[in-house]
Amino acid sequence: MEKIKIVIFAKQQSNRQKLHMLLKIEPDFEIIGEAGTNIEIYNYVTVRSLDILVFDLSAVEELDMLRAENHIRQGIKTVVVYEDKNISYTNAMLRSGAKAYVSSESASTELAAAIREVMAGKVHLSYPLFEHAIENYIKKAPNTANALYELLKKRESEVFNMVVKGLTSAQIGVTLAISRRTVEIHRANILRKLNLASQYKQIKNYAVELGILKSGIQITFSFSDFRHAFGCFDLSIGGTE
């Protein structure tokens, strides 16, 4: 099997070493080089044959360089590793043209999977950015979101609040003194009443409007507890509606 050729960019050598250590253990990855300056990364992007550029984004000033590399070689697939403290320039970062955005806090468990998803034609967002998309959606249509939530019965609201906190059906059943099957029914009703499939579809459309995504590209969220929280619903946008 042909390996995925990767170049790592990080201005700080310690960050390059951390990323190298994370990726070198993956059997299907081949790290063909590292860069720490504008000139070094330019040479790799324009001369070498690579599949993925892992870009450590540690300062807002590096956004211009990130955009430039994507413009120089438009076919390149860039995976950004960012720090959560830099979330303040999220919109600018999401417009950089990268295919994946991985929080440095979760890179050890998420980065390799994000690279493979990008190679499969998907876009990957770490949970903080997913949360940002949700917040933007709610701000865009707050009345609709509130109105739908108010449709839930008291027990459904209780189940919903526990689900989003990461509790399993079994744990919810014990807490509320109801059967697991009853919890599953409540979860199905919550999906239907909140029209979640439709809302996530609209989040994708919102991202397309911003220029973050191209129409037709699937987006995968890394927050696994939320992904599986409702059991019967695939939160990958472009999936179940």
Q: What is the pLDDT of residues 205-226, one digit of tens each?
A: 655 655 555 666 555 554 343 4
Range of the domain at 183: 134-196
As a whole number of angstroms, the distance between CA 198 and CA 201 comes to: 5
As a whole number of angstroms, the distance between CA 111 and CA 102 comes to: 6
Residue 85 is assigned to a structural domain of this protein: yes
Instruction: Say if residue 118 is in the same domain as residue 69.
Output: yes
Residue 207 is assigned to a structural domain of this protein: no
pLDDT tens per residue across span 34-44: 999 888 888 88
pLDDT tens per residue across span 15-26: 999 999 999 999
Domain count, the chain: 2
* CB atoms closer than 10 angstroms to residue 64: 12
Query: Chain-centre distance of CA 204, in angstroms?
Result: 12
Provide CB contacts within 8 A for 29, sequence distance 6+.
3, 4, 6, 23, 112, 115
As a whole number of angstroms, the distance between CA 127 and CA 136 comes to: 14
Query: Chain-centre distance of CA 170, in angstroms?
Result: 28
Instruction: Say if residue 62 is in the same domain as residue 105.
Output: yes
